[in-house]
C-alpha cells in the first residue's frame, strides 16, 4: 500500500515496507551530513505497562492522549530530557514539543492511537507538526512515537530536517 504524502522526511511506504524504507532515508541523511543519526530512546521498555494498560484502553482518544502525556511528564525520569517545552520561530509560537533529549538533540512527539490509527501511521499532520519543532529548535532529528492504546505497542518513525 503506497503512502503518497510528499513530506521532507521521505516516508513513502506503509507497513513492513516503511520499516525498510526508514533505513534508506536514515542512510541518505547520514551520508548527506557526514554524521550518524542518534538512536531513539527505548520507549517500549521505558513505558510501564502495569501503570497504563488498565486506563488507556477504556478512555476516549482525547482523554487517553492527555493521560499518557501526563504520565510521561510526571512518572518518567530520564536524565537530560525536557518535557512539554515551547517552540518559537522568531516571535511566533510554533507549538509545544512532548520531549526533548538535550543529550542527543532529538525531539520526540507522542501519539496514542487505536489499532486502526496505528495502521495509518505516520500521519502527514504529525510529520508536519514535528517538522515545525525541528525547524524552531534548529535540530535535525526527531521521532514520532506512536503508542497503541490497547496493547501499548510502540512504533517509532524518524523524521529528518
Predicted confidence (pLDDT) per residue in 94-108, tens digit = 899 999 999 889 999
- Alpha carbon distance 72, 57 (integer Å): 17
C-beta separation of 141 from 131 below 8 A = no
**Nearest Cα residue to 142 out of 132, 151, 152, 150:** 132
Instruction: Please give the model's pTM, rounded to 2 decimal places.
Output: 0.78
- Alpha carbon distance 138, 115 (integer Å): 33
Stretch 46-54: mean pLDDT: 79
pLDDT on residue 28: 67
Residue 118 has pLDDT above 70, yes or no: yes
90: confidence class by pLDDT, cuts 50, 70, 90: confident
Amino acid at each position: 500500500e503506497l503512502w503518497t504524502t510528499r513530506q521532507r522526511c521521505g516516508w513513502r511506504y506503509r507497513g513492513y515496507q516503511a520499516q525498510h524504507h526508514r533505513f534508506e532515508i536514515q542512510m541518505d541523511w547520514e551520508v548527506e551530513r557526514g554524521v550518524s543519526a542518534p538512536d531513539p530512546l527505548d520507549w517500549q521498555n521505558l513505558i510501564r505497562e502495569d501503570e497504563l494498560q488498565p486506563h488507556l484502553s477504556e478512555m476516549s482518544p482525547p482523554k487517553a492522549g492527555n493521560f499518557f502525556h501526563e504520565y510521561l511528564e510526571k512518572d518518567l525520569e530520564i536524565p537530560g530530557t525536557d518535557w512539554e517545552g515551547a517552540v518559537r520561530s522568531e516571535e511566533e509560537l510554533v507549538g509545544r514539543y512532548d520531549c526533548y533529549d538535550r543529550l542527543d538533540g532529538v525531539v520526540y512527539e507522542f501519539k496514542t492511537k487505536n489499532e486502526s490509527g496505528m495502521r495509518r501511521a505516520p500521519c502527514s499532520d504529525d510529520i508536519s507538526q514535528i517538522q515545525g519543532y525541528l525547524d524552531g529548535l534548529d535540530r535535525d532529528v526527531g521521532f514520532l512515537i506512536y503508542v497503541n492504546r490497547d496493547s501499548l505497542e510502540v512504533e517509532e518513525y524518524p523524521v529528518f530536517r
